């Protein structure tokens, strides 16, 4: 007899784990919905060329790619962006701008499995397309921050470290050296994970002299937006830098107006690993540092829609990953309750199925979670099952009670029980409990 095992890096969500994920998903989506993000959904499988055409991307080595029965090169999506770029390009004319989309779904990457990192992982992608205004960046920050607080986190639990790709890029370009800007930005992204010598080596490999690397890194130490003048003073000839500094200040000011400025810290050493970001970027961190890496991140990627065949379209977004977010919620002690909840168990004794079924139907019609016997069990076994599913109230429909025209209502927390006329139960009560009938 064969037995099978789940693939490594994939998860089974039994009801307790699923209850947690459902609550996190519903909270993220509901906050995004209130901001006017509209839900979309997307194919799990896409032409592999959407990733392989862009050579040099680490993602390609991690693809679950294969040839389908029709000879197409296909892949499970490792990220959403190329797909929404494809969708946006396909209907750009008809869509009312700005386009604000939200979706939650799994993605797949064949990479090393570790705590909070799986080969099948869930993200909620929240994106604004068609606005280059700092208010769009700020709205994404505000949506993410509101979702965090709605999940029960406070400003003591998390911080958004906000940076700007064009500040990093224009600073790097202001040096006389021939700098590989992408490599240098990747070095900045690694600065917190490697020691200083290695970091400076990486900047040197990217084309900076060691003194320049030190100067550059010193400039990134600015944490007060007012001090960003130090950067423009350093490279006064760079209009690009001045514009980027203005833009970052405008994003932070809008985030302030939007009520989430307190969650945002200027942190130029935050760079984001992916090449495609173009403006403001940010990463969410555990303020205590216990969750040792970025919980999630986001930012502006104005060139990507065009790269995937669309008209030039500014875009900014954020993509909370549910696994790392779950680690932060646990660390902060606010992970959703995994316990199964049941409002009623309708217990049948003897030949009372029609009445018990009527009671269960009425309770369900009012929106309650109601179970009843579908296994032909004894009184005691039914009561034990009711307890195992955390039933709040048990309604006992017994032959003897029914002969008196009554049912018994039992509070499972206290064990108290009383009887009430079956004809009036539940009547027009939405959620009757023992207390409504207590003698």
Binding residues for L-histidine: 79-81, 109, 123, 127, 272, 276-277
What's the closest the beta carbon of residue 115 comes to a second copy, in angstroms? Answer: 19
Give Cβ neighbours of residue 300 (< 8 Å, ≥ 6 apart).
137, 165, 277, 278, 279, 280, 281, 314, 315, 316
Give Cβ neighbours of residue 136 (< 8 Å, ≥ 6 apart).
98, 128, 314, 316
Window of 178-186, 209-217, 323-331, 356-364 that interacts with a second copy by CB under 8 A: 356-364
Is 46 one of the binding residues for a second copy (CB under 8 A)?
yes
The SS3 of residue 210 is helix
Residue 236: φ, ψ to 5°: -65, -20
Nearer to a second copy (CB atom), residue 11 or residue 269: 11
Nearer to a second copy (CB atom), residue 60 or residue 177: 60
Residues 259-278 binding a second copy (CB under 8 A) are 259
Q: How far apart are CA 258 and CA 248, in angstroms?
A: 15
Among 27, 80, 101, 165, binds a second copy (CB under 8 A): 101
Taking the alpha carbons at both ends of the chain, their separation in whole angstroms is 58
Nearer to a second copy (CB atom), residue 118 or residue 216: 118
Residues 384-413 binding a second copy (CB under 8 A) are 385, 388-389
Is 35 one of the binding residues for a second copy (CB under 8 A)?
yes
Is 112 one of the binding residues for a second copy (CB under 8 A)?
no
Judge whether 347 and 382 are in contact, CB under 8 Å. yes
Among 158, 296, 301, 308, binds a second copy (CB under 8 A): 308
Among 28, 80, 87, 222, binds a second copy (CB under 8 A): 87
Among 27, 81, 98, 382, binds a second copy (CB under 8 A): 98
Please give the C-alpha separations between residue 403 and each of 6, 8, 362, in angstroms, as whole numbers. 53, 58, 21
Q: What is the full DSSP assignment across 42-77? A: --SEEETHHHHTSTT-GGGGG-EEEE-TTS-EEEE-
Is 361 one of the binding residues for a second copy (CB under 8 A)?
yes
**Residue 417 parent element (H or E):** strand 417-421
Is 364 one of the binding residues for a second copy (CB under 8 A)?
yes
Among 127, 139, 166, 189, binds a second copy (CB under 8 A): 139
Is 14 one of the binding residues for a second copy (CB under 8 A)?
yes
Is 86 one of the binding residues for a second copy (CB under 8 A)?
yes
What's the closest the beta carbon of residue 198 comes to a second copy, in angstroms? Answer: 28
Is 12 one of the binding residues for a second copy (CB under 8 A)?
yes
Give Cβ neighbours of residue 140 (< 8 Å, ≥ 6 apart).
126, 127, 128, 298, 316, 317, 318
Window of 169-177, 181-189, 203-211, 306-314 that interacts with a second copy by CB under 8 A: 306-314
Is 210 one of the binding residues for a second copy (CB under 8 A)?
no
Judge whether 232 and 245 are in contact, CB under 8 Å. yes
Q: At what angle do helices 196-205 and 210-219 cross, to 10 degrees?
A: 110
Is 235 one of the binding residues for a second copy (CB under 8 A)?
no
Window of 47-55, 203-211, 226-234, 237-245 that interacts with a second copy by CB under 8 A: 47-55
The answer to whether the peptide bond before residue 115 is cis (omega within 30 degrees of 0) is: no
Among 189, 217, 373, 401, binds a second copy (CB under 8 A): 373
Nearer to a second copy (CB atom), residue 312 or residue 333: 312
Residue 82: φ, ψ to 5°: -60, -35
DSSP state at residue 7: P
The neighbouring-strand residues paired with 346 are 372, 395
Is 74 one of the binding residues for a second copy (CB under 8 A)?
yes
Is 47 one of the binding residues for a second copy (CB under 8 A)?
yes
Window of 133-141, 210-218, 264-272, 409-417 that interacts with a second copy by CB under 8 A: 133-141
Give the CA diameter of the chain. Answer: 96
The neighbouring-strand residues paired with 420 are 407
Among 27, 123, 124, 131, binds a second copy (CB under 8 A): 131
Among 79, 302, 303, 306, binds a second copy (CB under 8 A): 306
Is 42 one of the binding residues for a second copy (CB under 8 A)?
yes
């Amino acid at each position: 007899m064969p037995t099978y095992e789940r693939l490594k890096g994939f998860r089974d969500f039994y009801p307790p784990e699923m209850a947690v994920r459902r609550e996190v998903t519903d909270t993220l989506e509901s906050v995004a919905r209130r901001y006017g993000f509209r839900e979309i959904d997307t194919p799990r499988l896409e032409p592999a060329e959407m990733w392989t055409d862009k050579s040099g991307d680490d993602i390609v080595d991690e693809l679950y790619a294969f040839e389908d029965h029709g000879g197409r090169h296909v892949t499970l999506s490792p990220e959403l962006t190329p797909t929404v770029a494809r969708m946006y390009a396909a209907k750009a004319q008809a869509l009312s701008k700005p386009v604000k989309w939200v979706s939650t779904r799994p993605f797949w990457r064949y990479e090393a499995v570790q705590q909070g990192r799986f080969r099948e992982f869930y993200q909620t992608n929240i994106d604004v397309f068609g606005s280059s205004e700092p208010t769009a960046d700020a709205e994404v920050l505000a949506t993410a921050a509101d979702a965090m607080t709605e999940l029960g986190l406070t400003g003591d639990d998390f911080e958004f470290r906000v940076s700007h790709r064009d500040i990093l890029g224009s600073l790097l370009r202001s040096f006389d050296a021939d700098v590989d800007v992408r490599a240098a930005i990747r070095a900045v992204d690694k600065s917190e994970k490697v020691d200083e010598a290695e970091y400076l080596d990486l900047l040197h490999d990217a084309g900076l002299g060691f003194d320049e690397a030190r100067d550059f890194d010193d400039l990134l130490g600015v944490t007060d937006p007012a001090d960003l003048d130090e950067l423009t003073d350093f490279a006064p000839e760079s209009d690009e830098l001045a514009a980027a500094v203005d833009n970052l200040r405008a994003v932070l000011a809008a985030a302030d107006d939007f009520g989430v400025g307190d969650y945002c810290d200027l942190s130029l050493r935050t760079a984001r690993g992916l090449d495609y970001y173009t403006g403001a970027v940010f990463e969410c961190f555990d303020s205590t540092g216990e969750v040792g890496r970025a919980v999630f991140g986001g930012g502006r990627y104005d060139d990507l829609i065009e790269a995937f065949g669309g008209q030039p379209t500014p875009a900014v977004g954020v993509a909370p990953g549910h696994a790392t977010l779950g680690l932060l919620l646990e660390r902060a002690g606010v992970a959703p309750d995994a316990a199964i909840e049941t409002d009623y168990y309708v217990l049948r004794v003897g030949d009372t199925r029609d009445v018990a079924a009527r009671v269960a139907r009425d309770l369900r019609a009012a929106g309650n979670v109601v179970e009843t016997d579908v296994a032909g069990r004894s009184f005691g076994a039914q009561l034990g099952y009711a307890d195992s599913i955390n039933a709040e109230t048990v309604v006992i429909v017994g032959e003897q009670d029914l002969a008196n025209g009554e049912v018994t209502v039992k509070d499972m927390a206290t064990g108290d029980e009383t009887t009430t006329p079956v004809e009036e139960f539940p009547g027009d009560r939405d959620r009757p409990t023992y207390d409504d009938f207590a003698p």
